[in-house]
Structure 1
Amino acid sequence: MHSPHCKARGFSMIEMLVGVLIITFGLLGLITLQGRALQAAVGTEDSQRATLLAAEMAATMFDQNNVNVNAATVEAWAARAADPASGGVPNGVGTVTVNGNTARITVSWRPVQSTGAANDTNRYSTDVVIPQ
């Protein structure tokens, strides 16, 4: 006769597979979470770059004490805004619109992983007013 303790030893193969399955789902969730955290970090970095670019143009205007900055300076700044290697943003477009003594500085960009939809475009704008 078999004693009741012989059947209770060790795990069965099904119990091991269920345990491995649970651990696999947990690790898969962590990997997904890591990917989303990385996307958020890249998006935040792009936003900070756009803010710094706009602040740079605003500082140029304050240095000259005039919102009418020469076209060559605006073109060089817009070229830098479009080049991520030189501190710009991906697919970036920098514009300066002057209306009287007010200038609107806008930096628009689309993230690298963007699908091209209209709601994928990010935008940062700031207004500079220099009384004359």
Structure 2
Amino acid sequence: MKAATHRHPPQAGIALIEVLVSLLLFSFGILGLAGMLTRAITVSIDAEDRNRAALLANEIASTMWLKNSVSVDTTAWQTRVSDMDNGGLPNATLTVTVVSGAASSAGTANAADIVIAWRAVTREAAASNAASRLVTRVVLP
């Protein structure tokens, strides 16, 4: 008796290779989506910080307008700007600089620059774009 020989078709196992390739492509897609989600969260946090900085600068400018003076208590405002529990910014600093040469009709200074700088917790300190900054100029009548 002759031993039976089984001939395999030339494409045996090709379905398994197709499944593995499709899993590889699917995995790259999922990794891409995870990366996009991470980036979207970072951009969202940056936008929220910029919005808070603008609101804080607006509060300082409103105080200047109410007092009709460009001088404010920067120590109290520095505490407010850097207080994360009270709507402040992470690692924030505040600088209020009177603009030289700008004076009202009474001869008093009437313009100041409000500079709020901060570093988001999502950014590394060594990164070139680690610090963010908002500058607002206030000119009183």
Q: TM-score, normalised by structure 1?
A: 0.82
In the alignment, the residues of structure 2 paired with residue 16 and residue 119 of structure 1 have an alpha-carbon distance, to the nearest angstrom, of 43
Q: Any unmatched runs of 5+ in structure 1?
A: 1-5
Among 44, 48, 51, which residue is 2:47 paired with? Answer: 44
In the alignment, the residues of structure 1 paired with residue 10 and residue 89 of structure 2 have an alpha-carbon distance, to the nearest angstrom, of 65
Secondary structure of 2:137's partner? strand
Amino acid of the residue matched to residue 115 of structure 1? Answer: E
Secondary structure of 1:12's partner? helix
Secondary structure of 2:125's partner? coil
Note if 1:124 corresponds to 2:134: yes
User: Identity across aligned pairs (percent)?
Assistant: 43
Paired positions, count: 123
Say what the alpha-carbon RMSD is for the aligned residues. 2.2
Select the structure that is richer in helix.
1
Distance apart, 1:7 and its partner CA: 8.7
Q: What stretches of structure 1 move > 2 A for 4+ residues in a row? A: none
Q: Superposition pairs for residues 62-81 of structure 1, below 5 Å?
A: 62-69=65-72, 71=73, 74-81=74-81
Among 105, 116, 124, which residue is 2:114 paired with? Answer: 105
Q: Any unmatched runs of 5+ in structure 2?
A: 1-8, 100-108
Q: Which residue of structure 1 aligns with residue 93 of structure 2?
A: 93
Amino acid of the residue matched to residue 75 of structure 1? Answer: T
Secondary structure of 2:48's partner? helix
Amino acid of the residue matched to residue 85 of structure 1? Answer: D
Q: Which residue of structure 2 aligns with residue 3 of structure 1?
A: none
Q: TM-score, normalised by structure 2?
A: 0.78
Among 41, 48, 62, which residue is 1:59 paired with? Answer: 62
Q: Deviations over 1:94-113 (max 9, x none)?
A: 12122422111110001113
Amino acid of the residue matched to residue 89 of structure 2? Answer: V
Q: Superposition pairs for residues 17-32 of structure 1, below 5 Å?
A: 17-32=20-35
Amino acid of the residue matched to residue 122 of structure 1? Answer: S
Note if 1:34 corresponds to 2:37: yes
Distance apart, 1:17 and its partner CA: 0.9
In the alignment, the residues of structure 1 paired with residue 138 and residue 24 of structure 2 have an alpha-carbon distance, to the nearest angstrom, of 58
Distance apart, 1:115 and its partner CA: 2.3
